[in-house]
């Protein structure tokens, strides 16, 4: 590990113990990186604020007015599951990992695509600011070497493995064990994949700790970070959406919104209250998040506040936008990004030096040809998609086989050849649980694979 990383690790170790005693509940670790940045370059935050202001002005000039839709880009995602067997068993084993991945991908794509059904709870005062980021996410199905992958890189640790924060005593980077095992990097090329590490990152207990931490793409060039650390760490008890009452989740963190929040940091958003310890305009140390259409806010919110919740008189009468993904409200209350936030994120994905390369590599989301890549010229139609209880597959050439695969590549449903019609086949999907699947249709000379979603 580089000397710079060791210095950062020692600083983080001290910082963690000094902050941990006053944390109100689990939160994201952005404040840790902020402390590092402030030590290296105190002017960085004002530079970033200016950058966000310029992005918003540029976006508004191009759009004429802030729009509800914008150009869409797709980001490939790989999940590195770094847990011991007891933790894997607690979330339901391999099947549980698949459910978490499926539900998490659905949540972030809906949240970032302005398709989350709970947007109906947004107060009318903020409804016009409910925006589509234009960013979508796909699960990687090709490894860096070109071979197939489910999109889940599962690394099973010994059951005796300590929690991440317990490695502090050796002076090791606080988050190093989450990302790298046996002293070797398990990062996939961060210019082609958005790496997400799911690990035992819980610090202290459920009222005191870290839910996730993001190292954004600009960190290596700007602050000397190792490029292989770029990505998101998620606490495994704040990952995906709860499907049963027995799964281990931290209270208020079971709807998949921790990743929606952390991805905001990845695309250069700050916390909506500006990380100024509750200051309002006129108070010493007051700062803002640099976004024009998020209200002035004193401190972070917890739980599920009642509208209006006014923390600074300057934002009266509507008060805090506590339902914004960049606040700390419970998952069930987080429902929106604003056009100003979209402008900043769009500027990041358009930047040739930072996140742009990810938008150019969504080919890694297709299965290799030897597994299930879309091939041939035979047109097929799948309706409806997303679906609930059944789907129809229409085609001109009769298939030899029709299968449904889960996101781990396992066949979960296969049509008997005698049931395949000459022009259309109806599939009863009632036995399938909600999530992402892949429909594989085998013809005589080619095979096609299409993503399907059960609501």
pLDDT digits (tens, 9 = 90+) for 108-130: 999 999 999 999 999 999 999 99
Report the alpha-carbon distance of residue 167 to residue 322 in Å, rounded.
Answer: 35
Q: Are strands 435-442 and 447-454 parallel, antiparallel or unpaired?
A: antiparallel
Same-domain check for residues 221 and 258: yes
pLDDT of residue 371: 42
Report the alpha-carbon distance of residue 338 to residue 216 in Å, rounded.
Answer: 20
Same-domain check for residues 315 and 400: no
Average of per-residue pLDDT values in the chain: 81
Q: How far is CA 305 from CA 241, 315, 323, 327, 333, in A?
A: 21, 16, 9, 11, 8
Report the alpha-carbon distance of residue 407 to residue 23 in Å, rounded.
Answer: 37
- CATH number of the domain within which 70 lies: 3.40.390.10
pLDDT of residue 421: 79
Q: Is the pLDDT of residue 3 over 50?
A: no
Residue 371 covered by a domain: no
Residue 20 covered by a domain: yes
pLDDT of residue 240: 95
User: Of all residues in the chain, what percent carry a pLDDT higher than 70?
Assistant: 80
Window from 16-20, 26-30, 61-65, 194-198 with minimum mean pLDDT: 16-20
Specify the 3-state DSSP secondary structure of 290.
coil
Q: Is the pLDDT of residue 19 over 50?
A: no
Window from 251-260, 269-278, 350-359, 379-388 with minimum mean pLDDT: 350-359
Q: Which of 305, 340, 365 is the last residue of a domain?
A: 365
Same-domain check for residues 173 and 292: yes
Q: Is the pLDDT of residue 207 over 60?
A: no
Q: How far is CA 321 from the centre of its chain?
A: 21
Same-domain check for residues 400 and 337: no
For residue range 394-415, list pLDDT tens digits in order: 888 888 888 888 766 677 888 8
Mean pLDDT on 322-338: 97
The pLDDT-based confidence of 131 (bands split at 50, 70, 90) is very high
Window from 25-34, 144-153, 156-165 with minimum mean pLDDT: 156-165
Q: Which of 310, 330, 365 is the last residue of a domain?
A: 365
Mean pLDDT on 357-380: 68
Residue 370 covered by a domain: no
Residue from 166, 229, 247, 262 carrying the catalytic annotation: 262
Tokens coding 111:
């949240």
| Residue 354 is among the residues annotated as catalytic for this protein | no
pLDDT of residue 63: 62
pLDDT of residue 164: 47
Same-domain check for residues 293 and 187: yes
Residue 373 covered by a domain: no
Tokens coding 24:
């109100």
Domain count, the chain: 2
pLDDT of residue 161: 57
Residue 375 covered by a domain: no
Mean pLDDT on 24-31: 73
Mean pLDDT on 86-104: 90
pLDDT of residue 180: 57
Tokens coding 194:
């958005």
Find the domain containing 441 and state its range.
Answer: 380-454
Mean pLDDT on 270-298: 93
The pLDDT-based confidence of 255 (bands split at 50, 70, 90) is very high
The pLDDT-based confidence of 51 (bands split at 50, 70, 90) is confident
Tokens coding 248:
């281990």
The pLDDT-based confidence of 249 (bands split at 50, 70, 90) is very high
Handedness of CA 312, 317, 318, 322 (dihedral sign): positive
Same-domain check for residues 215 and 255: yes
How many C-beta neighbours within 10 Å does residue 164 have? Answer: 24
Tokens coding 164:
């991440």
Mean pLDDT on 329-358: 89
Q: Which of 318, 340, 365 is the last residue of a domain?
A: 365
Same-domain check for residues 341 and 414: no
Give the N- to C-terminal CA distance of the chain in Å, as an integer: 45
Q: How big is the CA angle at 127 (ends 126 and 132), to the nearest 5 degrees? A: 110
Mean pLDDT on 300-312: 95
Same-domain check for residues 326 and 393: no
Same-domain check for residues 412 and 320: no
Report the alpha-carbon distance of residue 345 to residue 72 in Å, rounded.
Answer: 12
- CATH number of the domain within which 400 lies: 2.60.40.3080
Question: Which has the closest alpha carbon to 212: 171, 168, 264?
Answer: 264
pLDDT of residue 202: 54
Same-domain check for residues 345 and 389: no
Most confident of 34-48, 66-80, 188-202, 370-384: 188-202
Tokens coding 427:
């599939």
Q: Is the pLDDT of residue 316 over 80?
A: yes
Residue 307 covered by a domain: yes
Mean pLDDT on 77-97: 91
Mean pLDDT on 36-61: 82
Residue 392 covered by a domain: yes
pTM for the model: 0.77
Residue 414 covered by a domain: yes
Mean pLDDT on 434-442: 83
For residue range 156-199, list pLDDT tens digits in order: 887 765 554 444 333 234 444 555 554 445 889 999 999 999 98
Same-domain check for residues 14 and 69: yes
Same-domain check for residues 42 and 105: yes
pLDDT of residue 373: 43
């Amino acid at each position: 590990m580089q000397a710079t990383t060791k210095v950062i690790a020692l600083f983080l170790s001290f910082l963690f113990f000094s902050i941990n005693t006053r944390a109100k509940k689990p939160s994201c670790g952005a404040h840790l990186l902020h402390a590092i940045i402030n030590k290296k370059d105190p002017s960085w935050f004002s530079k970033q604020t200016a950058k966000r202001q310029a992005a918003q002005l540029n976006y508004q000039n191009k759009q004429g007015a802030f729009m509800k839709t914008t150009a869409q880009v797709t980001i490939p995602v790989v999940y590195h599951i770094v847990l011991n067997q007891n933790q894997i068993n607690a979330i339901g084993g391999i099947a549980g990992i698949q459910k978490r991945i499926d539900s998490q991908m659905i949540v972030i794509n809906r949240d970032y695509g302005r398709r989350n059904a709970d947007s109906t709870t947004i107060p009318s005062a903020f409804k016009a600011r409910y925006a589509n980021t234009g960013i979508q996410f796909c699960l990687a199905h090709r490894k860096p070497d070109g071979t197939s992958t489910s999109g889940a890189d599962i690394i099973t640790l010994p059951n005796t493995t300590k929690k991440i924060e317990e490695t502090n005593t050796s002076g090791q980077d606080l988050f190093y064990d989450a990302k790298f095992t046996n002293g070797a990097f398990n990062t996939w090329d961060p210019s082609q994949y958005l790496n997400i590490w799911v690990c035992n990152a819980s610090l202290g207990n459920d009222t005191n700790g870290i839910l996730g931490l993001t190292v954004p793409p600009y960190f290596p060039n700007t602050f000397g970070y190792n490029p292989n650390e770029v990505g998101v760490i998620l606490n495994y008890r704040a990952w995906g959406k709860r499907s049963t009452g027995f799964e281990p989740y931290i209270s208020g963190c079971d709807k998949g919104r921790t990743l929606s929040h952390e991805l905001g940091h990845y695309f250069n958003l700050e916390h909506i209250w500006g990380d100024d310890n509750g200051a309002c305009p006129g108070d010493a140390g007051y700062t803002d998040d640099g976004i024009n259409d998020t209200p002035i806010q004193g401190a972070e919110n917890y739980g599920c506040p009642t509208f209006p919740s006014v923390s600074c008189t300057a934002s009266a009468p509507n008060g805090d936008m506590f339902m914004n993904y960049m606040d700390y409200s419970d998952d069930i209350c987080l429902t929106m990004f604003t056009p100003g936030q979209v402008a900043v994120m769009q500027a990041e994905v358009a930047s040739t030096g930072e996140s742009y390369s990810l938008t150019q590599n969504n080919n890694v989301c297709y299965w290799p040809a030897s597994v299930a890549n879309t091939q041939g010229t035979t047109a097929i139609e799948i309706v409806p998609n997303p679906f609930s209880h059944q789907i129809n597959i229409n085609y001109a050439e009769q298939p030899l086989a029709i299968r449904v695969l889960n996101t781990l590549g396992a066949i979960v449903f296969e049509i008997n050849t005698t049931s395949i019609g000459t022009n259309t086949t109806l599939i009863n999907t009632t036995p399938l649980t909600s999530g992402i699947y892949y429909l594989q249709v085998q013809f005589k000379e080619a095979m096609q694979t299409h993503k399907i979603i059960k609501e």
